[in-house]
Structure 1
Amino acid sequence: MKSPELPSAGRADVRIVAASPEAARQVAEALRCRFAATEQRSYPVDDSGGTRLHLTIDTTHTPEPAQPWLVSSRSSGDARTQTDEI
């Protein structure tokens, strides 16, 4: 069996296989939230109703780490009591 062709430097090819097109789309969307990516290409998986989805992501820009909502929603340091917080 021939080895697959490697993507260019700074790129990663991602293959997602899921039972439904919606599940594959959700995984691709999660990757796009963290990395720049090409448009996805989807293909049916035989007669099972499954989907195989391909996309290429850019790995040259390291994404910022995801922060929990509590950390990202902290105030700017202004500790003054607001009128509705009494």
Structure 2
Amino acid sequence: MAPNDSEPSEPLPTPGHAEVRVVAATPDAARAVAEVLRRCFAGGEQRSYPTPGGGTRLHLTVDTTHTAEPARSWLAASSPSHGTVPHSEEP
């Protein structure tokens, strides 16, 4: 998602890391997604915040240089091929 006037720009994570934001209707749903990510990638502490309307927003940082073997296989298989164009909602 590209920053806009209402969204402050954030510094990029360090190389090899990704910032992940999960927005869910319940804390349990957000934690379930975070658990799957932690099984695939090493990561830091997660932070959660309430969202307007009663949902949960969870932030976590994952280290993409330290992946579990099943994730590595999946990541390699899902790499885009040359000439692939992004979805219309992707930059």
Q: TM-score, normalised by structure 2?
A: 0.65
**Alpha-carbon displacement from aligned partner over 1:1-27 (angstroms, at most 9, x marks no partner):** 353311001110000000000000000
Amino acid in structure 2 at the alignment position of 1:25: R
CA distance in 1, matches of 2:9, 2:57: 20
Larger Rg: 1
Worse-matched range after superposition: 3-12 or 15-24: 3-12
Backbone CA RMSD of aligned residues: 1.7
Task: Name the structure 2 match of 1:78.
Answer: none
Task: Name the structure 2 match of 1:14.
Answer: 20
Check if 1:30 corresponds to 2:50. no
CA distance in 2, matches of 1:62, 1:36: 7
Q: TM-score, normalised by structure 1?
A: 0.69
Local SS of the residue matching 1:55: strand
Confirm or deny: 8 A CA contact 2:39 2:68 kept in the other structure.
no
After the TM superposition, which parts of structure 1 deviate over 3 Å for at least 4 consecutive aligned residues? none
Task: Name the structure 2 match of 1:79.
Answer: none
| Count of equivalent residues | 66
Where does structure 1 lack aligned partners over 5 or more consecutive residues? 68-86
Identical residues among aligned pairs (%)? 65
Check if 1:65 corresponds to 2:75. no
